[in-house]
């Protein structure tokens, strides 16, 4: 990952990451919850700011989809308290890393960056998946339960790899 930092990252200068999908009610709130739980497990909650957003305005203020919440609960995670919000142009500046769930999300984010100033921060989340398939997290919204389970597996595996890549990059002393 580029952008290696010599400055030690602490609560005063945290690593800010945001996960982005279309609705911010299925894939990205799950990624927010899973990634945050990994951060906490390794004692790095002061070092990271973790957020999620949707490219659409459809679900602003809504809780995550009940089916995604259920899948999360099945895996020991609660995401029901999260609230949908729309990705804003200012988020391009605010976050260090912007992870898009699919290529449409990536293009929608990049279209807010007219001058290309922030394009290096915007990546497909599954670039960090050890088993990346087509590099996208498929939208489970119109499908069945298996789609949600598959999304969970991809998000969990990718979040773990991503966390360890960042921990290495920033030389974090992580707890186990």
| Structure tokens, 174 | 């992580």
The candidate with the shortest Cα–Cα distance to 157, out of 38, 6, 14, is: 38
Q: Based on the residue annotation, tell me whether 27 is a catalytic residue of this protein.
A: yes
51, 91, 129, 139: which one binds ligand 4NP (CB under 6 A): 139
Burial class of residue 70, CB neighbours in 10 A (0-12, 13-18, 19+): middle
How many Å apart are CA 47 and CA 58, to the nearest integer?
A: 31
Whose structure tokens read 């969970």?
152
Closer to ligand 4NP at the Cβ: 135 or 141? 141
Q: Report the nearest approach of ligand 4NP to the CB of residue 92 (Å).
A: 19
Closer to ligand 4NP at the Cβ: 24 or 158? 24
Closer to ligand 4NP at the Cβ: 45 or 56? 56
Q: Report the nearest approach of ligand 4NP to the CB of residue 98 (Å).
A: 15
For residue 71, how far is the Cα from the chain centroid?
A: 17
Which residues inside 8-37 make contact with ligand 4NP, applying CB under 6 A?
21-27
Q: Report the nearest approach of ligand 4NP to the CB of residue 59 (Å).
A: 6
Q: Report the nearest approach of ligand 4NP to the CB of residue 93 (Å).
A: 23
Closer to ligand 4NP at the Cβ: 22 or 162? 22
Element (H, E) at 100: strand 97-100
Told to check if 143 binds ligand 4NP by CB under 6 A, we report no
Residue 140: C-alpha distances to residues 93, 114, 145 (Å):
29, 30, 8
Q: Looking at 51, 102, 129, 139, which residue is catalytic?
A: 139
Show which residues are catalytic: 21, 27, 139
């Amino acid at each position: 990952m580029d952008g290696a930092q010599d400055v030690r990252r602490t609560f005063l200068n945290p690593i800010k990451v945001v996960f982005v999908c279309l609705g911010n009610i299925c894939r990205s709130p799950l990624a927010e919850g899973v990634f945050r739980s990994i951060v906490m497990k390794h004692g790095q909650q002061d070092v990271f700011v973790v957020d999620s957003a949707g490219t659409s305005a459809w679900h602003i203020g809504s809780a995550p989809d009940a089916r995604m919440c259920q899948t999360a609960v099945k895996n020991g995670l609660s995401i029901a308290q999260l609230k949908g919000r729309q990705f804003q142009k200012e988020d391009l500046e605010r976050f260090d890393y912007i992870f898009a769930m699919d290529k449409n999300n990536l293009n929608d984010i990049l279209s807010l960056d007219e001058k290309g100033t922030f394009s290096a921060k915007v990546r497909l989340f599954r670039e960090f998946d050890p088993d990346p398939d087509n590099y996208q997290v498929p939208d489970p919204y119109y499908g069945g339960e298996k789609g949600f389970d598959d999304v969970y597996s991809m998000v969990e595996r990718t979040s773990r790899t991503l966390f360890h890549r960042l921990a290495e990059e920033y030389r974090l002393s992580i707890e186990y």
